[in-house]
Structure 1
Amino acid sequence: MFTSEMISSFNELETSLYNYIIKNADKVIYMRIRDLADETHVSTSTILRFCRKLNCEGFSEFKVKLKLYLDKTKESQVKSSQYSLSEFMERTLKGNFETVIKDAASLIVKSDNVIFIGTGSSGILAEYGARYFSSLGKFSMYVKDPYIPIHANYLHNSTTIALSVSGENSFTISHLNQLKQKGSNIISITNNKHSPIAKMADINISYYVTEEWYKTSNITTQIPVVYILEETAREVHKLSEN
């Protein structure tokens, strides 16, 4: 509701008003404009000017938007990881999941270079994936800097494995676009096969679990991703041995 651009546009009185509202939001949504003016020692015209900067026509509209914002950011109940695991098994493992993993492994085993990319929790698992693949004999590396120079000679006969829950991360899309243009094969591991990253990939492995948020953090389970990484690495190892 309060963007950085909006906050930077506040003058001294408006900043004081903003600080009071943030600390007392649950109370402000039930106040009259005169009550808020008395509490914050500003004029009602200052409050109305503050509301207009937030794209609200008046104080009443501001209170409605503030209540909606509070409702949206209230703590939601965190589900058990057992629920997420059973959901993954019911929705995904009963399909042609193993076939897709074998197709991905066949592509990887033929590649000279394997690159993992991802950000946030997906980045942590991308690093884990690179280590796990390397431990099973397929040397891989994790690249976390989206601005790293990419040279085509290194990407000859390479496969990039991109991890993203939403499949919409802008840094990963930008990085993936560069790698794809340089000729790298693309495997994506996402929660949705219709996402941009999934559509950019030669092979997409989707795991379909319900996205879960806690306040502003995406806490969608990564259990399926660990399974996919380990199962694919083991399949690559088996194909290499054969």
Structure 2
Amino acid sequence: MFTAEMIASLNELETSLYNYICKNEDKVAYMRIRELADETHVSTSTILRFCRKLNCEGFSEFKTKIKLHLEETKKTNIKNIEHSVLEFFERISQGNIEENIKKAARLVSESNNVIFIGIGSSGIMAEYGARYFSSVGKFSMYIKDPYFPIHAKFLSNSVAIALSVSGETPPIITHINQLKEQEIKVISITNSKYSTISKISDTNIPYYVTEERFETSIGNNLNHVNENELKYSDITTQVPVVYILESIAREIYKLNI
């Protein structure tokens, strides 16, 4: 609701008004302008000037925006973790995930190095995957910085493992393009095989669980180059990713015995 530009334009009185509103949104949504002025010790003209800076014609429109914001940020019901995990294991018992895991393991086994790529929670999984693969004797590294420079010419005979829930993460797609230009094989682990990342990978392992995201309050108070990452928290379970990574690593170990 408040962008960085809007906040920067506020003077001292308007900033105190902004701080009060952030702490009392439920209350302000149903106050009269005179009541808000008394509570914040500012004039009604200051409040109206504040509303105009937020692209509202008046206090009534501003209150409408607050009510809409409160409606959008109502807490989302989160499923029990058992539901998501059972959903995944029921699907793999009927699909060909084991075949995809073995194919990925063969690609990794034939390479000298493994590069894990991920951002956010997928970045944590990339770090975990690199540690786990190294534990079974396959030297691995991870990249979880979206702006990390990749000099692919130093990575001959390597394979990359890209992790992304949505399969649409722009920095990951950029990294994959750079790697593919150097003829590096790419394995992707995504929630769907119909995503961009899965389509441009040499091998894709989809796991198909219900994605869970909810809006965060920080997303409404900041304007950022990657607004979606700020506005929404992705709490999709990473249990399937752990299962797939550990399964690939164990297959690699078997192939190298």
With structure 1 as the length reference, what TM-score do the two structures score? 0.87
Corresponding residue for residue 88 of structure 2: 88
Corresponding residue for residue 121 of structure 1: 121
Q: In 1, distance between residues paired with 2:57 and 2:174?
A: 39
Q: Is residue 241 of structure 2 the alignment partner of residue 225 of structure 1?
A: yes
Cα deviation, residue 24, structure 1: 0.6
Cα deviation, residue 93, structure 1: 4.1
With structure 2 as the length reference, what TM-score do the two structures score? 0.83
Q: In 2, distance between residues paired with 1:35 and 1:225?
A: 53
Corresponding residue for residue 100 of structure 2: 100
The letter of the residue matching 1:234 is R
Cα deviation, residue 56, structure 1: 3.0
Cα deviation, residue 141, structure 1: 1.3
Taking structure 1 as reference, are residues 164 and 35 closer, same or farther at Cα in structure 2, changes over 3 Å only? same
Q: In 2, distance between residues paired with 1:73 and 1:100?
A: 39
Runs of 4+ in 1 over 4 A off after TM superposition: none
After superposition, the C-alpha distances for 1:148-199 in whole angstroms (9 at most, x for unaligned) are 4433332222111111222333433333333233332111112233333333
Structure 1 counterpart of 2:251, from 235, 238, 241:
235
Corresponding residue for residue 200 of structure 1: 200
Cα deviation, residue 64, structure 1: 2.5
The letter of the residue matching 1:97 is I
Cα deviation, residue 92, structure 1: 4.4
Q: In 1, distance between residues paired with 2:85 and 2:109?
A: 29
| 8 Å contact kept, 2:28–2:36 | yes
| 8 Å contact kept, 2:119–2:145 | no
Percent identity of equivalent pairs? 68
> 66-75 or 133-142, which moves further after superposition?
66-75
Structure 1: segments with no counterpart, 5+ residues: none
Cα deviation, residue 228, structure 1: 0.7
| 8 Å contact kept, 1:146–1:174 | no
Corresponding residue for residue 74 of structure 1: 74
Cα deviation, residue 215, structure 1: 5.3
Q: In 1, distance between residues paired with 2:4 and 2:92?
A: 40
| 8 Å contact kept, 2:116–2:126 | yes
Taking structure 1 as reference, are residues 75 and 186 closer, same or farther at Cα in structure 2, changes over 3 Å only? same
| Map 1:15-164 → 2, pairs under 5 A | 15-164=15-164
| Structure 2 counterpart SS, 1:153 | helix
Corresponding residue for residue 211 of structure 2: 211
The letter of the residue matching 2:101 is I
| Structure 1 counterpart SS, 2:253 | helix
Cα deviation, residue 225, structure 1: 0.5
